[in-house]
Amino acid sequence: MSSFEGFTNHTVKVHSAVLSKDLNIWCRKKGEGEGLLLLHGYPQTSHIWNKIAKQLAERYTVVAADLRGYGRSSKPPGSDSHEEYSKREMASDQVQVMKHFGFDTFSIVGHDRGGRVAHRLALDNPDEVKRLMVLDIAPTLFMYDNTNMDFAKGYWHWFFLIQPAPGPEKMILAGPEEFWATAAARWSHKGVDWSEEDKEEYKSNFFRPDSVHATCEDYRAAASIDLEHDRADQAAGRKLSTPKFRVLWGSNGVIAKYGDVPGVWRKYCEEGKVDVRGKGLNCGHYIPEEKAEELLAELYEFMS
């Protein structure tokens, strides 16, 4: 039985300001009530929510989307500016998706790259976001500004994928299975219990030239145009104003090494306006798959 039983698949046209043309964002939708947007990370798709999506859809309208550049969504070529994959552009995609389904306000849960898109979305669209939960991330600017040996060893791909095209793309495609084993499979604590269906979903969508290029561009944007946007926010004193903010992280992963993770995020939120809380879970990076039941409980509290 499908883990997304009862969900309908949608391809939503969104407009890219940078490209001056429409793109397609693919998503799954089910449920009634307030909107809850789920955003995945690298190198995955919306399938990462497969263990909790059905339960969430019993209480909320769940939209699980493939980010631009991932899964079944559009994968436009990048450029020297990498603006096509700025988190501002990728966030705009998702605002348009939720408006397409009739939601002017909604809550967001973002894992990994999806958390970075969610962070930017809430900054640029403060009136639209009711609640924000990010999974296993610290702010991008903070992470680059506090780079150390632990970070570089654990997140080596942040520095590999940003190298000029087509170098990383060619190396990944020359040995995709080896890359998967070296990168994705190692970021869990004791190994994610991926089924053959899970592996087929992720690998079939990732091991393609357009996907590999697009996902590299996501990281190149993070190390360039996204940092420009983040530093402009910092200079202007712009911070998150979403009333309810939650961060969960894997206590056996890289983010846990920052210590007071909620304390890090408080520096990026408006003091006295945002309720910032968080906790570490006994797992690695893939919280939605490694600790599905615990995450579901946290989400019910988060949405209350």
Where in the sequence numbering do the catalytic residues fall? 112, 285
- Determine the residue type at 115: G
Q: What is the DSSP string of 159-178?
A: HHTTSPTTHHHHHHHHSHHH
Q: How far apart are CA 29 and CA 218, in angstroms?
A: 25
Segment (H or E) for 122: helix 113-124
- Is the separation of the CB atoms in 34 and 61 below 8 Å? yes
Count of beta carbons in the 10 Å neighbourhood of residue 81:
14
Question: Three-state DSSP class for 79?
Answer: coil
The first and second tokens of residue 158, run together, are 């942040």
Q: Which of 155, 176, 74 is nearest to 112 (CA)?
A: 155
Peptide bond into 43 cis (omega under 30): yes
